[in-house]
Amino acid sequence: LKGMLCTAPDQLKDKDRELLTALTESCPEMTALTGHIRTFADLLKPAAHNGPHLDQWISAAREDDLPHLHAFTRGLERDHDAVVNGLTLPFHNGGTEGVNTKTKLIKRQMYGRAGFHLLRHRILLN
């Protein structure tokens, strides 16, 4: 269910879309949660207007009786400035994180096999 909720409706197969509709319509909390998830997903595309929209989203999420969503909104408010920057600015460290992940993968694959020199060569060749 989590995967279907986090997938854009137009990307779902017809069978999955029908199942998701049936599940969400049978429970008012699921209907509200689905709406909040989809609205928040729209905020994940960086745009200048996302800062005020985030505040509106937090207020709307707080109005519903969804305790786990309230915990999420508290975390967003705790790091509000960083979240707003992430949602409004086009800059990110995705490339750096990708290199770190790839380096750690190579390191794990080579565990116990060789020293630093071979690790360095494998990283440079990838």
User: Residue 1 — pLDDT band, cuts 50, 70, 90?
Assistant: low
CA pair distance 109, 87, nearest whole angstrom: 35
What pLDDT shows up at residue 25? 81
The pTM of the full predicted model, rounded to 2 decimals, is 0.67
pLDDT in tens, 63-75: 888 888 899 999 9
What pLDDT shows up at residue 3? 77
CA pair distance 31, 120, nearest whole angstrom: 51
User: Residue 80 — pLDDT band, cuts 50, 70, 90?
Assistant: very high
pLDDT in tens, 7-59: 777 787 888 888 888 888 888 888 888 889 888 988 888 888 888 999 999 99
Q: Domain spans of the chain?
A: 2-88, 94-125
CA pair distance 57, 65, nearest whole angstrom: 14
Residues in the chain: 126
pLDDT for residue 79 is more than 90: yes
Task: Look at the block and give the residue holding tokens 């707003």.
Answer: 84
